[in-house]
């Protein structure tokens, strides 16, 4: 067994999961999500575990997402395609297990928390952000779509801010993660380290776990250093992103012509037109879905993207060749038909391919 994920249980009832692939920003492999899933299943009913801590090793942060470089292999081998499908199945299963976990989970959203890192921690009961937090759903940068349950949790953000974040892949800081309901508490990174030490030293067998934990977190809690950037933009975001088609959103941004709308339009036009349309439908449909239904849709879409040119072009241009000039299948959103988008929400054996 590799040590890409570390786990431990101390004698006082604190269990810890450490994502331990710091050279790859702790991006998640199949073996990592498998081990996390096994431990959560075990700890759910283990009377020696009262509290779970999830954190990342190294200075950069919690987790940059999935191990995209390995997923990229799926383009050239049947075995790699099968492995990639298995990764998404296990990853989403573990994300769901975090939502359902019956004991407190403290998620340390310190530093980079993106994509798969967001998915792994969104369902945790006590999510803590710091001055170092950089949070994003960055999948639109690689011709993919905001997965790991984003159609569920981005719809928990105020107004249409979740759509904006998913489609533009914007990076946000602590105050905004709180604003979109992606975290529960702010504290300084140093304070978070002290909190976790105190959690580890506490004998959870002797106390009311929930009350004691919440009292403890309160003692370290502080006000975020920067104000929310999204809150002042929310009226503009809601105005432009209230539409259910990309054509209308882009037209609305064009009509306005302010600095903000020009920038947002430019951002959207840098993405795969096909990915944009699939993601918007996923997020619109997600409003009516349960968390579990959102993950089921994500699995279907992930498997279809593993068979679509734009995902590999996106990954190639950002992480392999780093030329930042993807040659996506379509040039304009108007070239992508509703029929093709709708087809993509069907199992892969039903997707027509050219
Ligand atoms: C979009 C993404 C990811 C990304 C960049 C994007 C992602 C991901 C990584 C990543 C970064 C550094 C690594 C690594 C992976 O980058 O999901 O192995 O060392 O994991 O624009 O979705």
Please provide the size of the chain in residues.
354
Q: What is the pLDDT of residue 1?
A: 57
The best mutation among 30, 114, 120, 166 to test binding of ligand 1, ranked by most ligand atoms within 8 Å of the C-beta, falls on: 114
- CA–CA distance, 115 with 150 (Å, rounded to integer): 9
* 130 half-sphere exposure, CB direction, 13 A CA radius: 21
The residue whose C-alpha atom lies closest to atom 19 belonging to ligand 1 is 24
pLDDT tens sequence across 73-110: 999 999 999 999 999 999 999 999 999 999 999 999 99
DSSP string, 57-99: -SSSEEE-SB-HHHHHGGGT-HHHHHHHHHHHHHHHHHHHHHH
pLDDT tens sequence across 204-224: 999 999 999 999 999 999 999
Q: Is 191 in the pocket of ligand 1 (CB under 6 A)?
A: no
Q: What is the pLDDT of residue 351?
A: 67
Cα pseudo-dihedral 69, 72, 73, 74, rounded to 10: 140
Q: Give the mean pLDDT of the chain.
A: 97
- Ligand 1 atom showing the smallest separation from residue 28 Cα: 20
Residue 146 has pLDDT above 90, yes or no: yes
Q: Which residues pair with 15 in a beta bridge?
A: 9, 52
Distance 114 CA to ligand 1 centre (A): 8
Q: Which residues pair with 202 in a beta bridge?
A: none
Of the candidates 314, 322, 302, which has an alpha carbon nearest to the alpha carbon of residue 271? Answer: 314
Grade residue 352 by pLDDT with cuts at 50, 70 and 90. low
Q: What is the pLDDT of residue 348?
A: 80
Structural domains of the chain in order of their starting residue, each with its CATH number: 5-220 (3.90.226.10), 230-350 (no CATH)
Give the phi and the psi of residue 273 in degrees, each rounded to 5: -55, -35
pLDDT tens sequence across 244-267: 999 999 999 999 989 999 999 999
Mean pLDDT of 42-46: 98
323 assigned to active site: no
The residue whose C-alpha atom lies closest to atom 20 belonging to ligand 1 is 65
Q: What is the pLDDT of residue 350?
A: 66
Distance 307 CA to ligand 1 centre (A): 19
Q: What is the pLDDT of residue 115?
A: 98
Q: Is 69 in the pocket of ligand 1 (CB under 6 A)?
A: yes
The CB density around residue 259, as the number of other CB atoms within 10 Å, is 8
Mean pLDDT of 339-344: 98
Q: What is the pLDDT of residue 2?
A: 82
Pairing between β-strand 112-114 and β-strand 126-129 as defined by DSSP bridges? unpaired
Q: Which helix (H) or strand (E) holds 8?
A: strand 5-9
Residue 23 has pLDDT above 90, yes or no: yes
Q: Is the pTM of this model over 0.85?
A: yes
pLDDT tens sequence across 271-322: 999 999 999 999 999 999 999 999 999 999 999 999 999 999 999 999 999 9
Q: Is 65 in the pocket of ligand 1 (CB under 6 A)?
A: yes
Percent of all residues in the chain with a pLDDT value above 90, rounded to a whole number:
97
Non-local CB neighbours of 205 within 8 Å, separated by 6+ positions: 12, 13, 50
Grade residue 354 by pLDDT with cuts at 50, 70 and 90. very low
């Amino acid at each position: 067994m590799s040590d890409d994920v570390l786990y431990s249980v101390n004698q006082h009832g604190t269990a810890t999961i450490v994502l331990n692939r710091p050279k790859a920003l702790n991006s998640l492999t199949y073996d990592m999500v498998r081990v996390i899933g096994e431990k959560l299943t075990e700890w759910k009913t283990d009377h020696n575990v009262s509290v779970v801590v999830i954190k990342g090793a190294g200075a950069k942060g919690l987790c940059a997402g999935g191990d995209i470089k390995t997923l990229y292999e799926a383009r050239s081998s049947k075995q790699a395609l099968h492995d990639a499908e298995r990764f998404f199945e296990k990853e989403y299963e573990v994300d769901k297990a975090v939502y359902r976990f019956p004991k407190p989970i403290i998620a340390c959203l310190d530093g980079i928390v993106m994509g798969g890192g967001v998915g792994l921690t969104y369902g945790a009961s006590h999510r803590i952000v710091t001055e170092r937090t950089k949070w994003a759903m960055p999948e639109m940068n690689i011709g993919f779509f905001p997965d790991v349950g984003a159609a569920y949790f981005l719809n928990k953000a105020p107004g249409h801010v979740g759509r904006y974040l998913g489609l533009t892949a914007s990076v946000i800081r602590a105050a905004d993660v709180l604003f979109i309901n992606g975290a529960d508490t702010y504290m300084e990174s140093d304070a978070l380290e002290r909190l976790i030490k105190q959690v580890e030293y506490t004998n959870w067998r002797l106390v009311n776990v929930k009350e004691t934990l919440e009292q403890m977190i309160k003692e370290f809690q502080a006000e975020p250093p920067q104000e929310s950037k999204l809150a002042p933009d929310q009226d503009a975001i809601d105005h432009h992103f209230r539409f259910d088609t990309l054509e209308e959103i882009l037209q609305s941004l064009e009509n306005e012509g302010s600095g903000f709308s020009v920038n947002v339009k430019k951002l959207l036009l840098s993405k795969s037109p096909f990915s944009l349309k699939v993601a918007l439908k996923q997020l619109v449909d997600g409003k009516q879905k349960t968390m579990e239904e959102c993950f089921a849709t994500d699995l279907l879409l992930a498997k279809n993207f593993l068979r679509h040119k734009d995902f590999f072009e996106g990954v190639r241009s950002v992480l392999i060749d780093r030329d930042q000039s993807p040659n996506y299948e379509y040039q304009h959103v108007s070239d992508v038909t509703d029929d093709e988008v709708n087809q993509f929400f069907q199992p892969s054996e039903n997707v027509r391919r050219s």
